Amino acid sequence: MARKTTTPCCPPESPATRAAVLLAAPDDPVADAQLAAFAKAIAHPTRVRILRLLAHREARMCSHIVDELPLAQSTVSEHLRILRAAGLVRANESGPRVGYCIVPAVLTQFKHLLDDL
């Protein structure tokens, strides 16, 4: 909106070029949905922050994260649930002491999907 485009990057093309290019359509709805799902998982500053905390090993238990953020425990738990549902984070399910950590492989997959754009 504040963009004063001095050099137009993309004048409308002729129908001919367009038709030729259309032959090679990727159209991978699965990859689109996957990438969108990952993106949605980190589409909130708090969840990015949580990922960073986990990546830097500064917090591993939910209560630690709660200490770092101005949010209620239930809210943090919900954010963790979303990150877990996306596969970006894992928890060792062993009672009241739940340790959280990043799943590097999934994060890498995320990065690859983005790179393919």
Partner DNA sequence: TCGGCGTATCGTCAATCGACGATTGCCGAT
Partner DNA sequence: ATCGGCAATCGTCGATTGACGATACGCCGA
| Least separation in angstroms between CB 74 and its own copies | 19
The neighbour count for residue 36, using CB atoms within 10 Å, is 12
Tokens of 45: 């500053």
**DSSP one-letter code for 61:** B
Q: Does 72 bind its own copies (CB under 8 A)?
A: no
Stretch that binds DNA, among 3-11, 27-35, 71-79, 101-109 (CB under 7 A): 71-79
Q: Does 34 bind DNA (CB under 7 A)?
A: no
Question: 99 Cβ partners below 8 Å, 6+ apart?
Answer: 60, 61, 91, 92
If residue 89 lies in a helix (H) or strand (E), which one and from where to where? strand 89-92
Q: Which residues bind its own copies (CB under 8 A)?
A: 1, 3, 5, 8-13, 18, 21-22, 24-26, 29, 32-33, 35-36, 39-40, 42-45, 47-49, 51-52, 55-58, 60-61, 64, 84-85, 90-94, 97, 99-101, 107, 110-111, 114-115, 117
